[in-house]
Structure 1
Amino acid sequence: MFSLEGKSAVITGAGSGIGQAIALTFARQGAKVYVLDVNQEQANATVFKIQEDGGEAFAFVCDVTNQQIVKSVFEKIGDINILVNCAGIAHVGNVVNTSEADFDRVYQVNVKGTYNCLHEALPYFIKTQQGVILNVASIAAYVGLNDRFAYSMSKGAVFAMTLSVAKDFIHQNIRCNSISPARVHTPFVDGFIAKNYPGKEQEMFEKLSKSQPIGRMGSVDEIATLALYLCSDEAGFITGNDYPIDGGFIKLNN
C-alpha cells in the first residue's frame, strides 16, 4: 500500500524539516524526488540521504518567490505526478508591530511561492490529465494565535488556494489537498527558541510542547506519513480538503 513506484514528486522546502521528511518518505516508497530548496547545501544533503538509502533524487536551488526561476526549474524537470508545496517562513508579530517589509516577505514566500509552483506545475498535470497537489497550511488558518498576524494571513491564503485549485481542475483528474500541522519539532523550532528565549530554552520547549492537548509537538515523520497517504492512489477519492494534524489543538484546546 501507499506505493509511489514510477511517480515523480517535486517537493519545495525539502532541504530541512517537514519538507525533508516528506522527501525521504516519498523516496522510500519508490518516488523519484526532486528536492527544491533555496539552500544548495541543504538540498544536496537531502538528496544524499535519499541516495544513501537507495532512492532516486535530484537537487535544484529554487527561490519560490521568483516566477522565472520556478519556471526554469520546472522546465528542466519536465513531467511530474506530485507537487508538495512545503516551502515557507514564519514571523512573530501582530498587525501593529509587523512592518510592511516583514509582511511582504512572508507573503512572497508563503503565498506567492505557493502560487508560483502551482502556476508552473499545473500545465504538466493538465497535459497528462493527472496530478496530485499537497499544500502545507497550518492550524493558524483556523484559530487565532498570539503574534502570528502575517503568518496566519499567509496560511489562510494557502488553504483558500487549495480549495480553488481543487474546484477548478477536478475534471482533469487533478487532486489538491492541504494539511495543517500544529507545532512540529524541527531545527527551526530549536533555533526560534534559542534566539528569542536565551537561557530559557528547556522551559519554553516544554511550554510550547504542552500547548498541544496531546502534550507534545508532532514529529516530522508523522507529518510525512499523512502527506504520503494524501498523495498516494489510496487517497484517490479525496480532494478539496484540509487535514489538521495538531495533537487536538483546534478542537480540544478550550
Structure 2
Amino acid sequence: CKALILELLAAVCLVELGHDVILNAFDNFRIICQERHRFETLMKSFTQISEFNFDYMVACMQFINIVVHSVQDMNYRVHLQEEFKLLGLDDCLKKYQELYGECDRFILQIQAYLDNYFDVGQLLEDSETKQQAIGKVSELEEQLAIANERFQDVEQEHVNKTTELQKALNLAEEQVEFVKKERDDITQTLNTLRRNHNHERGSPSSSTSSISSAPPGAPTSASSYSTITSNHNVYSSNCIPPPPPFPTQMPRPV
C-alpha cells in the first residue's frame, strides 16, 4: 500500500505544477507531524528498516529520484539534493549498494540517482577553475592585443624602412647612371683629344716627307709660292694700262 502511494505521488510530480503540489503537501505534513525537517518520516522508513520490503524500497527510491531530478532549476535541484543528504540518504545508498546488489530494480534506481547527482564541491571547484580560466583567457587576450599592436607597429616600421631603402636604391641607381654617362662623355672627349693630338703630330711629318720626296729640279712649295707671286705682279703690271697724263692747262670757257 505504501509503495502504491509513493508511485502515485511520483506520477503527480511529473504533471504540470504537480511538483509544487507534492512539496507543499510534505510541508503541511511536516507542520502537522511536527517534523524537524521535511521528508523526515519518509527517510526514517527508508533508512531505518526492520525488514526489507523490496517494492516499497524501489518505489521510495523512484519517488526521491523524481522529486529531486525533475526540477529544471539547477540551484533548486541542488537544494533538494542537500535536503535529502542531511537526512542521511547518501550514506544509506552506499550501504544499500553493497547489501542489495542482487536487486536489479533497486540498484538501477540508486544508480540513476547517483548519475544525476550534482557534486556541490566539484561544482564549486569547477566554478573556481572556470573563473581562473576566464581570468587566464582575459590575460591572454590582453597579451594577444598587445602583441597584435606590436606586430602592427613592427610591420609599419618595416614598410617605412623598406620604402626608405627603395628610395635610396633608386637614388643610387640614378647616381650610377649619371656617373656612367659622365664617364662615357669623358671617355669620348679623351678619345677625341687623342685623335686630334695624333693628327697634329702626324701633319708636319707628312709635309716634310712630301717636300723631301719631290723630284730634283722641281720647285718647292716656298719657291713655287714666290714664283707665283712675282708672276702675278708682272701680270698685273703688264695688264693694267698707265693712267692718262694730267693736263697742264685748264681749257678756257667759251
Please state which structure has a larger fraction of its residues in helix: 2
Larger radius of gyration: 2
Q: Shared fold by TM > 0.5?
A: no
- TM superposition score category, shorter chain reference: under 0.3
* TM-score where L is the length of structure 2: 0.25
